[in-house]
Each structure stands twice: as C-alpha cells, then as structure tokens.
Structure 1
Amino acid sequence: MTGPAVAPGTIHGVGLGPGDADLMSVRAHRLLAGARHIAYFRKEGRAGRARAIVEELLHPDAVEYAMEYPVTTEIPLTDPGYNAALSAFYEGCTAHLRDLARGGADVVVLCEGDPFFYGSFMHLYQRLKDDVPVAVVPAITGMSAAWTATGQPVTWGDDVLSVLMATLPEDDLARHMAAADALVVMKIGRNIEKVRRALRSAGKYDAAWLVEYASMEGQTVQPLAGAEGRVTPYFSIVIVHGQGRRP
C-alpha cells in the first residue's frame, strides 16, 4: 500500500520593497517570519542584497537556497550565450523549487522591489505556475522610493510616465525620453554616459535627478549634472519629474 498523497506546498514570490525593511508589507513580514525554506538570487561571491534585507527576520532553522547567476555583465545582452546561460540557470532553479513544493514544502522566494516589475522571479513564475501553487506578494518598487527621495511628485495631471532600462540602445532611449513627460531610468551602472547623451538629445538633461541606493544605507540624491565624471552603482535611478496640469 502507498501512503496518502502529499499536498503540494506553495512557492511564494515575496516582494521586499526598495531596500528598507520598514517599507516591507505586513504580509511579506508574516511569511518571512514563518518561512522554513527561503530562496534568493545573488551574484556569485556575494551575500545577496535580498538576503541582507531580511537578515533579522528569518527563523533560525530556515533552510536557504542561494540561486547564483551564471552571468551578469560579463558578456553583452546581445550575445546568444547570455540568454542560453540564463535559461539553463532558471530551469535548474525551477526544478529545485518544484521538487520542494511537490514534497509539501512552502518556499519563500525573496524578491527585491516588486516581483512582477523587472524581477528575476518572473522567470521562475512562468515555469512554475502550471505545475505547483504559486503566490505573489507585491511591494513598493525601487523607483517609487527614488522619486519620493527627491521630495517632488513625479507626475501631475495627465503626465505620461515612461520607465526605461539603461540597457536599451541610445537612439531608443532618446526617442522614448523625448516623447514622455516624466521619466524613470533604471539599471544605470556602466550605462551612465549613454543615459547622459540620450537625455541631452531629448532636451531633458538639466531636469534629471540621480538617486543612488534609494531607501537603503548610503542613499544619495542630487541633480544628475552634479555627478559628472564618475560611474554610478547598479542600484541607481534617474528621475525626470513631470510638470503637467495641476489645479
């Protein structure tokens, strides 16, 4: 005879917010405090920023599964090997999480920002959602923390807000920048000079703000023009505020 079937566990993609643990949702905090299995992404050789955010919140007996990216910026995004390496990586992570869930374990996957906003968890979600229960906990995004740090509303009235990745080709960046009233540019890092040129081309350079490490230790806020001549960290966001209709 075989024993009763084990009810599958749930994979929880939990948004941690922009970096300050105080900005985490109550639901995220509750799931983390009770988690016996957690998973998180990190660069090889690093502790992982998502893991650092929850350092004081985890149960001491929680089993950790660190998912280490095979590549980050070592090869260009356009290199066929980039997608091939990441696809194999996500497949391997998915298989491990699927096995845990099928064995009855609930797993909390730590997600910086919001899980469905340019997050790595989306690639796991698409591979898991038809096989095991998956739940997503939304969160405050990094861009929200960034524009709040500037002390100015990012949009007014009918302003059109565009969110751009600095990894886009320069001509595409400039075209989208020129068409939008308000801008958020993410994934800056080594792309900063390309972003500067595109903003100048779009006539928005002098209105741009640079926010580094929004809501985290080491946060800085300054006009982008005041940060000439240096490389910015990956966790940088450029903001151009809308100036639209207001009563």
Structure 2
Amino acid sequence: MTGRIICTGLGPGDPDLISVRADRTIRAARHVAYFRKAGRAGQARRIVDGMLAEGVVEYPMEYPVTTEIAFDHPDYIAALAAFYDHWADRLATLARTETIVVLCEGDPFFYGSFMHLHSRVQGIAKVEVIPGIPGMAGCWTATGVPITWGDDVLTVLAGTLPEDDLIRRARDADALVIMKTGRNLPKVRRALAAAGRLEAAWLVERGTMPGQRIARLADVDAADCPYFAIVLVHGHGRRPEALE
C-alpha cells in the first residue's frame, strides 16, 4: 500500500482561512474528492477554486439525497449508507497506489461528512486528517462579539433535535450555537422563543463567504431557511467583577 487518503479541513469558507498545511497539501494533490449536491459545483470545490494543479483528477461525490426526505426516514438512511459504502470502497481502492485528498468544509471531525468515510476505511487504507477552523468560529467572529466570556459554557446543538430538547438545552446554555438549521429554522425559532433566548439570537448565513449575511433571528422571516447558516446566542459572561 503506497497511497493514502488525506482529508483536509477547509475552514469556514474564506480561502484565506485554510491552514498552511492544508493549502500545501491541496496544491500538491493529483487526486481530489469532494462532496456536493447533484447538479451543484459544491461548496468545498468552490473554496479551492484556482488552487488545484493542472491535470488533477477530480472525484465529485454526489449525495443521492439531501433534503428531499427527512433525515431519520429509513429510505434516507439506506441511501446515505449505500453512498458512503460505495465511496469508501472506491477511495480505499485508489489509495492502494495513489494519494487522494478529500476536501471538507470546516473541520472534518466536527459534523463533517468525511467521518462516515473515515469509519469505513479503517484498517483498509492509510488515513490522515488535517484539521480546519470550524465554520461556527468564522460565524461568531463575523458578528464582532466574543461568543463566550469567563466561565461561560458553550453548548452546540443540531437543529434536527426534537423541539422539546432544543428548548431545554437552550434554557440551560450560557452561550449557544445551533448547527444544521436550514428547513429546521422555524422549529429553532420557536424553541428559542420558548426558552426566552430569541431576542438575543443571531443568524449568520455564509459566514466569511461571499454573500455573508448577519441578522437578528427575530427579524428573519420564518420561511427564510438558508442552508449555509448557523444560529448564535452570545454568552453574557460569568466574569469576576474585577475583570469587567
């Protein structure tokens, strides 16, 4: 086995926020794979536009389903499992003789699709992961306000959670990040309102990327459900008086 699979975290979206190591790896790559929705260029591919070497072989890994079916529906689970099985086998086969770079937005081990491939290629291919700045870090930096102070506890939630769970955890959180909003945004709004946190919540769409939008969630139409968006509630700070 002379090749390997290298997954490079791309950071929150701005190409300037890619790490030096990831940049060097991407520019030297001869085989590059990335996830995308069918018919789309793909966010990861957009981030590295202009960085790939001439003659690089590209492997667009197109999801068989995204938001057409509920994520917990048996058909969705079966389709995604078969998709990851297929690409894990294909990349592992290629890695016997070549090194292939897999592009992943944010950090590969933080809600990244690559984790599903990573678990499948263990023991059959050499794997290396290059971490990246998580997308949420780019989003809270875009607001210009620290997400946590002092002894604040940061809670990260998925918008796919049941509404009652979102309410309970939002009430208990000092600072809050809610990922996977999209069509879950109306539910997230209701949960934050019930928890008394809606007025302090922000929606950051396409953080650090072209078209970035920052708005108070209370002012965003409930039907406006951007895919590349994160909801933030900044911590108030459990700081000693002497530090204020």
Which TM class, normalised by the smaller chain length? over 0.9
- State the alpha-carbon separation in 2 of the partners of residues 10 and 98 from structure 1: 8
TM-score calculated relative to the size of structure 2 = 0.96
1:88 aligns with 2:82: yes
- In structure 2, stretches of 5+ residues that fail to align are none
Q: Which runs of 4+ in 1 moved over 2 A?
A: none
Structure 1 match to 2:182: 189
Structure 2 match to 1:24: 18
Structure 2 match to 1:160: 153
Q: Give the number of equivalent residue pairs.
A: 240
Counterparts of 1:52-91 in structure 2, within 5 Å, are 52-91=46-85
TM-score calculated relative to the size of structure 1 = 0.95
The sequence identity of aligned pairs, in percent, is 60
1:232 aligns with 2:219: no
Structure 1 match to 2:142: 149
What do the CA deviations read for 1:170-225 (whole angstroms, capped 9, x no partner)?
A: 11111111111110011111111111100011110110011110000000112111
- State the alpha-carbon separation in 1 of the partners of residues 2 and 194 from structure 2: 54
Equivalent residue of 2:183, what SS? helix
1:34 aligns with 2:28: yes
Shift of 1:229: 4.3
- State the alpha-carbon separation in 1 of the partners of residues 185 and 161 from structure 2: 12
- State the alpha-carbon separation in 2 of the partners of residues 129 and 136 from structure 1: 13
Supply the AA of the counterpart residue of 1:149.
A
Equivalent residue of 1:33, what SS? helix
- State the alpha-carbon separation in 1 of the partners of residues 222 and 89 from structure 2: 45
- State the alpha-carbon separation in 1 of the partners of residues 44 and 125 from structure 2: 24
Give the conservation status (yes or no) of the 8 Å contact 2:186–2:223. no
What do the CA deviations read for 1:94-130 (whole angstroms, capped 9, x no partner)?
A: 111011111x200000001100000000011111121
CA-based RMSD = 1.0
Structure 2 match to 1:175: 168
Worse overlay, 199-208 or 184-193: 184-193
